[in-house]
Amino acid sequence: MLRLRKGNERGSANLGWLDSKHTFSFADYDDPDHMGFGNLRVINEDRVQPGQGFGSHGHRDMEIISYIIDGVLEHKDSMGNGSVMRPGDVQRMTAGSGVQHSEFNPSPDTTVHFLQIWILPQTLDLTPGYEQKAFMEEEKSNQLRLIISRDGRDDSLTIHQDVDLYASLLTADCMLSHPIRKGRNGWLQVVLGDVDVNEMHLVAGDGLALQDCDQVRVNALSDTDLLLFDMG
């Protein structure tokens, strides 16, 4: 079964310094029809203005992933980590028993554009943790590159949940497929571009839930940036 979540029907919040689109219910956006998909709870597409950002705030019992699309994002947290993320960088933070962090756009003139993704962990009260890695364009070019997994295989980041997260940069007319094993589901998120997925048309901001499907078939209609969640 395929279920399309149209990007132009997402929840939204515009605070001046922040323009955010919510695939699932988040903060003041409450939609009982879109509370998440399996253990996937949040996909927010955020644009933060130059010199602005999220002040220090707390989380717990959540796996938080940042995927940078454009611009620069500075991260600091109560574990002592500090980093600057650029396009191609992926960060995983385990909030676990509790963590404080901030995210800031240090650029004086460029908006930062990124996805923030939350996934429920298999275990509560984990020790907070952090990983960050740059995935080069050639690793993702016209193929699915594993960027996050439970076992950290293929030099991916690790996550405390049965989720394999793939990233891909497709050129127009490229086609690829990915098998989904029995008992697992998929979610495909189009970051940029437009594609046909199992003969359904998706554009930037759209998401597609795949249940009881044995394969994901993607045909890029333009240069496309996408994420694929393969979830147990």
Quote the CA–CA distance of 196 and 103 in Å, as a whole number: 34
Residue 204 buriedness (CB in 10 A; 0-12 / 13-18 / 19+): middle
Can you give the pLDDT at residue 178?
Answer: 98
1: in domain: no
By percentage, how much of the chain surpasses pLDDT 90? 99
2: in domain: no
Together in a domain, 157 and 100? no
Query: How many separate domains does the chain show?
Result: 2
Together in a domain, 126 and 146? no
Residue 151 buriedness (CB in 10 A; 0-12 / 13-18 / 19+): exposed
Together in a domain, 207 and 123? no
203: in domain: yes
Can you give the pLDDT at residue 140?
Answer: 98
Together in a domain, 148 and 192? yes
Quote the CA–CA distance of 36 and 34 in Å, as a whole number: 6
| Start-to-end C-alpha separation, the chain | 16
Can you give the pLDDT at residue 64?
Answer: 98
Together in a domain, 14 and 128? yes
Together in a domain, 148 and 47? no
Average pLDDT over residues 210-226: 97
Range of the structural domain that residue 198 is part of: 137-231
pLDDT digits (tens, 9 = 90+) for 150-164: 999 999 999 999 999
Together in a domain, 198 and 124? no
Phi, psi of 104 (to 5 degrees): -140, 140
Together in a domain, 142 and 207? yes
Q: Which of 113, 134, 155 is the last residue of a domain?
A: 134
Question: Do the Cβ atoms of 53 and 92 come closer than 8 Å?
Answer: no
The string of DSSP codes covering 153-180 is GGGPEE-SSSEEEEEEEE-TT-EEEEE-
Average pLDDT over residues 190-209: 97
Average pLDDT over residues 176-195: 97
5: in domain: no
Strand 145-149 relative to strand 157-158: parallel, antiparallel, unpaired? parallel
172: in domain: yes
Among 5, 12, 115, 17, residue whose Cα is nearest residue 64: 115
Can you give the pLDDT at residue 27?
Answer: 93
Together in a domain, 37 and 150? no
Alpha carbons within 13 A on the beta-carbon side of 191? 24
SS3 state at 143: coil
Can you give the pLDDT at residue 214?
Answer: 95
Q: Which of 78, 102, 134 is the last residue of a domain?
A: 134
Can you give the pLDDT at residue 11?
Answer: 98
Can you give the pLDDT at residue 38?
Answer: 96
> What residues contact 26, with CB distance under 8 A and at least 6 apart?
11, 42, 44
pLDDT digits (tens, 9 = 90+) for 62-95: 999 999 999 999 999 999 999 999 999 999 999 9
Q: Cβ atoms within 10 A of the Cβ of 139, count?
A: 17
Together in a domain, 90 and 150? no
53: in domain: yes
What CATH number is attached to the domain comprising 70?
A: 2.60.120.10
Phi, psi of 216 (to 5 degrees): -105, 125
SS3 state at 137: helix
Together in a domain, 142 and 61? no
Mean pLDDT of the chain: 97
Question: Do the Cβ atoms of 57 and 92 come closer than 8 Å?
Answer: no
Q: Which of 114, 134, 154 is the last residue of a domain?
A: 134
Sign of CA dihedral 166, 171, 172, 173: negative
pLDDT digits (tens, 9 = 90+) for 33-58: 999 999 999 999 999 999 999 999 99
116: in domain: yes
103: in domain: yes
Together in a domain, 63 and 100? yes
